[in-house]
Amino acid sequence: MSDLFTIAGKTALVTGGSRGIGLMIARGYVEAGATVYISSRKASVCDEVAAELSAIGTCISLPADLSTEAGCKGLAEELSSRTDRLDILVNNAGATWGTPLMDWDEAAWERVLAVNVKGVFHLTKFLSPLLLATGTQDEPARVINIGSIDGIHVPIMETYAYSASKAAVHQLTRHLARRLAPTVTVNAIAPGPFESKMMAATLDAFGEQIAAGAPLKRIGRPDDVAGTAIYLASRASSYVTGVILPVDGGIATVG
């Protein structure tokens, strides 16, 4: 049992790893002994966070714009030039947008879907040779997609593209899980409310109400999502694939 949950010595890429849930996961992986590459669109922020995390372990900055297929391919090529193995890919980079129904336009939909769905697909596609070369049937490589409980239940906010994109990520997770088995597992975490830049305005306005309405009566903490991501990357989950795992205090499942 001593190594059931260890990820020490593994190599991971966490997209959107410079803030929010991505940073929570990246920090957890670094503290757990993994070599972690983080990617985000803003190079200066990505470099700054990688330097901060390097004080506690190994973290390398690989800035990239994952809203285009070319950006995904460029990140995959850069990573492949630096390492011959990839044990864990965390597709966390995402975007959201909210506006009244009649104000939605094509540009807003495209911004959200480009990163949240197409970016996940293209990056996984381009990195699948590295993942398949790393994983074995006994110790698969891992793809962990970050979905959302908004892809499971109907959110109150008018974030139509975001909720639709996260439901798409959940189905894409299942589809890729079948294609990449048996040497790569593909699972998704569906977070509820966590303190992040994306959730800041919502939590400022409704944080106490959201916490009171959750069966577990609180907002998510960094170790909640980091621990789940470590489980899905460790030997403990080697027989788990195609799963959408809510980490939400029960909001979408028993609320």
Return the bridge partners of 189, or none: 146, 245
Residue 235 neighbours by CB under 8 Å, 6+ apart: 3, 4, 5, 6, 139
Query: How far apart are alpha carbons 135 and 141 in whole angstroms?
Result: 4
160 is an active site residue: no
Return the bridge partners of 221, or none: none
Distance of CA 30 to the CA centre of its chain: 15
Q: What angle do CA 180, 186, 188 make, to 5 degrees?
A: 155
Distance between start and end Cα atoms, the chain: 34
Query: How far apart are alpha carbons 1 and 97 in whole angstroms?
Result: 44
Closest CA to 94 of 70, 111, 106: 111
Out of 29, 37, 162, 231, the active site residue is 162
Q: How many CA atoms lie within 13 A of 32 on its CB side?
A: 26
Active site residues: 162
